[in-house]
Amino acid sequence: MLKLLLSLIFMIPLCFVYQGWWLVQSILLLMTFGFMLMGMAGTFFAGVSYFMGCDVLSYGLILLSLWICALMVTASESVYRGNNHQQFFLFMVVMLLAFLVCTFSSLNLFLFYLFFESSLIPTLFLILGWGYQPERLQAGIYLLFYTLLASLPLLIGVFYLGELQFSLFIPMCMKTNFYGILLYLALILAFLVKMPMFLVHLWLPKAHVEAPVSGSMILAGVLLKLGGYGLLRIFSVLLLSGLTFNFVWVAISLVGGVLVSFICLRQTDLKALIAYSSVAHMGVVLGGLMTLTYWGFMSSYALMIAHGLCSSGLFCLANISYERTGSRSLLINRGLMSFMPSMTLWWFLLSSANMAAPPSLNLLSEIGLLNSMVGWTWVSMVMLSLVSFFSAAYTLYLYSYSQHGKFYAGMYSCAGGYVREYLLLFLHWVPLNLLILKSEPCVMWL
């Protein structure tokens, strides 16, 4: 794991090379394939060094981070073309990636907390530095304060845990079980905000709408998964408390999923619609995870990876439309089928993945999540059926409103896509649909 971190640190000077944009992107892709071939996806920790190690959970999410960061550079060509502080932008992406790799591979709970918080800083810079509207300042402050406020109890909880068992070493924590509502709340609250759970989700649509495409991609692709990863790790300590109190979170996330789906159905902003759909999906992930069942753990992990690729791809599409039409409003982005005919296929493929159509990884994981929650209590069937129905409804709304209809009279041309954009969408969609063929690592790691 240290070799991965060192190669990232030695990449930092390359960000400041004159016109080193595509060089950095190529090296990121090279590192992704290198990491893929390292084959650390075992049940036990592999590649253990001083403070880092890698098991299946870390492996999938580090791979996702590397992949999304390489694609972020591809998607943000407008930063390079407009010469908009491109070197600093690359530096931010590499720093964010380094923090994420450290977060997912930390073997110590305190270091995990430290890197978990550090990943906020480059994200904030991306939103404040390359965002579009003046409201990005407010969005950045929302993001910062929601996360920091909930993270203070986590820090106290981690230190208390260290005092109780004289160690913060994650594999050793798995042997202990603590019972107490205060410790339980302190340890999981930060992750619930990061997920984000309904009721503490308000920072997410704001941050998404104001962020540049790279910011949206990394937020949807990886930063939301920090919450799920933290919960999967921390519940090995909190099983007893979880069995007592978890029904509250399952209820909130299921009802929240339905309410957020209603909110999606009346959005006119492309990015806001995709952002709210992420909240609905992560609600289902949270519900499955909180059942503490085998199916729930497996499928929530699989859906985190599937949603990372799918949501990131949809944000790329929204940005491609935005670069052509200069607006994110669904009122202006109508009839794109006659304006950008070749992009309609990609809208269709990624939208169908978003509503868990086969053969995407979303389908596999959503079946598992339905299984886990219905097995936990049959009452959840009501809300789950509504969430499934409305997720299809708002995805169809997004697709049909943007692609069909009479296009806005201000656009009198037909626009093609660049090869770079087709490659970008291809690299989001192919792993999403190929992973279902090799889904054992996602589904059989416990």
**397-415 pLDDT tens trace:** 999 999 998 887 777 677 7
Q: Is the pLDDT of residue 173 over 70?
A: yes
The predicted model gives 210-235 an average pLDDT of 95
CA atoms within 13 A on the CB side of 163: 7
Q: What is the pLDDT of residue 251?
A: 96
Nearest CA among 30, 52, 22, 66 for reference residue 308: 66
Which residues, 6+ apart, have CB-to-CB distance to 440 below 8 Å?
none
Q: Where are the beta strands (DSSP E) in 88-195?
A: none
Q: What is the pLDDT of residue 42?
A: 79
Q: What is the pLDDT of residue 246?
A: 94
Percent with pLDDT over 90 in the chain: 79
Confidence band for 171, pLDDT divided at 50, 70 and 90: confident
Which residues, 6+ apart, have CB-to-CB distance to 110 below 8 Å?
158, 159, 162, 168
- Quick check: 414 and 339 in contact, CB under 8 A? yes
Q: Is the pLDDT of residue 443 over 90?
A: no
Q: Is the pLDDT of residue 174 over 80?
A: no
Residue 382 burial class via C-beta count within 10 angstroms: exposed 0-12, middle 13-18, buried 19 and up: exposed
Cα–Cα distance list, 119 to 96, 100, 152, 219, 224 (Å): 6, 6, 16, 10, 11
Residue 236 burial class via C-beta count within 10 angstroms: exposed 0-12, middle 13-18, buried 19 and up: middle
Rounded Cα–Cα distance for residues 415 and 395 (Å): 24
Handedness of CA 110, 305, 307, 368 (dihedral sign): negative
CA 335, chain centre distance (Å) = 29
CA atoms within 13 A on the CB side of 28: 31
Rounded Cα–Cα distance for residues 432 and 365 (Å): 12
Q: What is the pLDDT of residue 419?
A: 94
Helix, strand and coil content of the chain, in percent to the nearest 5, comes to 75, 0, 25
Range of the domain at 206: 1-444
Confidence band for 422, pLDDT divided at 50, 70 and 90: very high
Cα–Cα distance list, 1 to 27, 44, 231 (Å): 17, 14, 22
Q: How many CB atoms lie within 10 A of CB 389?
A: 11
Q: Record the pTM.
A: 0.96
Domain total in the chain:
1
- What are φ and ψ of residue 181, in 5° steps? -70, -35
Q: What is the pLDDT of residue 412?
A: 67
Percent with pLDDT over 70 in the chain: 100
**322-374 pLDDT tens trace:** 998 889 999 999 989 988 889 999 999 999 999 999 999 999 999 999 999 99
**22-80 pLDDT tens trace:** 999 999 999 999 999 988 877 888 888 888 999 999 999 999 999 999 999 999 999 99
- What are φ and ψ of residue 54, in 5° steps? -145, 120
Handedness of CA 185, 215, 276, 278 (dihedral sign): negative
Which residues, 6+ apart, have CB-to-CB distance to 443 below 8 Å?
298, 299, 302, 364, 368
Confidence band for 150, pLDDT divided at 50, 70 and 90: very high
Q: What is the pLDDT of residue 302?
A: 95
Rounded Cα–Cα distance for residues 406 and 399 (Å): 14
Nearest CA among 207, 7, 13, 22 for reference residue 97: 7
**132-148 pLDDT tens trace:** 889 999 999 999 999 99
Which residue matches tokens 């969005």? 139
Q: Is the pLDDT of residue 240 over 70?
A: yes
Which helix (H) or strand (E) is 90 found in, with range?
helix 86-105
Mean pLDDT of the chain: 93
Does residue 363 sit in helix, strand or coil? helix
The predicted model gives 108-119 an average pLDDT of 95
- Quick check: 375 and 335 in contact, CB under 8 A? no
